[in-house]
Structure 1
């Protein structure tokens, strides 16, 4: 029996957790990881996973699914070639699509090459409701990201705040989803996901709060319009390896990979 072929771009915390989980599932996969030849992470890749050094190596390996797990720059650097070659790509760094020019380029590459673009829902839910509700004019979307100070240490230091002494919640940003995703590329992929599923980057309102009392990554979503209202408060455990993201993201990625290859699933 031929095993499904999965190529992963990058090998940070999320990709490492994905590989570990895949090795424990009932379904078997052929896995490969794309890393630069001088990357120190190459030593962390299990022997059962093939190492690739260039995008040409990846394309020659002919994966059935390409997972981007290396940040927004990797979306621009590698995915156009994958889409032009007709591959399906799963994007975890959705905030990269806040760049309208890159977004359009990927759409053009997919249409011309026969590739497909899939976006990871990651740490947020209710996207099915949002997609349906946003078809009705007048739908409004407000999203609040509230995370512990450990997720914002570098950003707070740049603003002159000491994360060890800050006692009250601090609003870091208030504005549109495209601005939020570009300003905080490691923290606001959820804002981009909501915008792309719903009313667009400019019309999705986002507030970003560093909260010393928060113990988890909180996502507070308000959708209102002709279809009705949805109010969701999701509280996620931060990843132990990267507090900027949630532990749930790696499991969301695993679910997305399995759904891509399964015979029956939710639309």
Structure 2
């Protein structure tokens, strides 16, 4: 079987987790050939990846290796900055920062570009269970979808929640946001990517209800999907440890990409 050439955008906490896990258990028939990093990450990335992998800060040098598949692990800005170039190159773009797709004109533009160029946009779903059931309910006729994300207060530091709540003084579970998935993606771009994934699989960004909760007793991050329609109901909760280097995300987030690569399942394909 021909080897699949892989590029990785991002060398922060999630990007490093992907590289570390890949080093321990390489993905069969796949090879990382290039990593796009920020300027201050170049030397660390070269040390971690060794010879034979292009480490660069330039998207065009990155794409010169002709990756068949590009993994984004660098945030909303990376998606909006690089999606067009990746798709024009005909590559499959695997997006972890799904909240970037809440921007309707941007989403429509890159979907149209993917259709013209032969590229593809994929969202791994291994970090949240229940997406398959949600997709099935959507075919039957969804009437309501609600996603609740509960995390310790430290996870909400550096967000707009700090302007409204004294996160360090909370003594009980506190709702810090209630609105739709589009609003959650806008106000909490680093915390609401799973909410965005649920929105893509279900009723869309405007009609997916989202509640974000700071809970001082929470041992980690959890996400709960509640959906109903056509006489059926779906309720599923996934809980996991926070990433040691980034409490805003779960440790399983990066691994969901590797699960997708190993099995070519556990993903949403946008066309």
The SS at the match of 1:154 is coil
Looking at structure 2, the residues matched to 177 and 118 of structure 1 have their Cα atoms a distance apart, in angstroms, of: 19
Partner residue in 2 for 1:110: 114
Partner residue in 2 for 1:32: 34
Between stretches 195-204 and 16-25, larger displacement belongs to 16-25
Does the alignment pair 1:195 with 2:160?
no
Between stretches 19-28 and 142-151, larger displacement belongs to 19-28
Partner residue in 2 for 1:152: 156
**Maintained 8 Å contact 2:33/2:65:** no
Partner residue in 1 for 2:185: 181
Report Cα offsets for 1:12-46 as digits up to 9, x if no partner.
1111111111122252614310124xx21112212
Q: Which runs of 5+ in 2 are unaligned?
A: none
Partner residue in 2 for 1:13: 13
Tell me the CA shift for residue 122 of structure 1. 4.6
Looking at structure 2, the residues matched to 101 and 252 of structure 1 have their Cα atoms a distance apart, in angstroms, of: 27
Does the alignment pair 1:255 with 2:249?
no
Bigger relative contact order, structure 1 or 2, given CA contacts below 8 A and separation 6+? 2
Change (3 A) 1:126 1:82: same
The SS at the match of 1:172 is strand
Tell me the CA shift for residue 132 of structure 1. 1.2
The alignment's TM-score, normalised by the length of structure 1, stands at: 0.91
Looking at structure 2, the residues matched to 252 and 185 of structure 1 have their Cα atoms a distance apart, in angstroms, of: 19
**Maintained 8 Å contact 1:5/1:63:** yes
Looking at structure 2, the residues matched to 254 and 138 of structure 1 have their Cα atoms a distance apart, in angstroms, of: 30
**Maintained 8 Å contact 1:94/1:120:** no
Change (3 A) 1:266 1:12: closer
Q: Which runs of 5+ in 1 are unaligned?
A: none
